[in-house]
Amino acid sequence: MATANSQNRVAVVTGASSGIGEATARALAASGYRVALLARRLDRITALAEELANGSIAIAADVTDRDSLVAAADRVRQELGGADVLVNNAGVMLLGPFMGDQRDDHRQMVEVNLLGALTATEVFLDQLKDGGGDIVNISSVAGRTARAGNGVYAATKWGLNGWSESLRQELLPDVRVTLIEPGVVATELPGHITHAETREGVQALYDKAEVSAADIAEIIAFVLSRPRHLAIHEVLIRPAGQL
């Protein structure tokens, strides 16, 4: 079974083109991992792979498209020898009031945040089981507490939390499952919100964010560095001043 030694280990990070995904890729590369960078924006992840210059590769993939994930998994096996770690980070936060005008946003959040993580895990699971692996699911404080205007986003994160706990029990002891639940983190997430009034309010909050994506990435790298007999199943992270 694999050890916590990151040398020669391979990590797959979805949503690696920005935010927590990009920061996690950098942190894991610094820890000795080769990283398969998965995202739709191939130009960004290609530049990042070249910057890392450690054998990491960039793969254009959309977590809502199973065929693209299957193709990505084939490349990871062929070019890197298979995945030891999967970080399900791809996600969107399309907040706004619950009304028909937002129905496309609702569907997109379910397909990316929840179904995307399920599909990526299903596709890479055989590789992760081969020698002992790790799954890190990036959830949110919203997976614990819902507020007005974030109902569908919270629903996707609550779903991710419940599925992660079930998966943890199914896969132990060979594959460790860790749930990371950040609060407000300085990322580009608010910029995708389509409801103008909500976007303005959320952006003002995020402009004051004191926790960086690198802070979250550091915690993920720490979790993965623990010896195989120890599993950290859940990490809730808030800015010190967040309610």
From residue 200, alpha-carbon distances to 20, 43, 197 in Å are 22, 28, 5
Structural tokens at position 184: 């407000």
Sheet containing strand 175-182, strands side by side:
57-60, 34-39, 10-14, 85-88, 133-138, 175-182, 234-237
Residues annotated as catalytic (active site), given as ranges:
153
For 124, other C-beta atoms within 10 Å of its C-beta total 26
Distance CA 170, CA 157 (A): 20
Cβ proximity of 11 and 136 under 8 Å: no
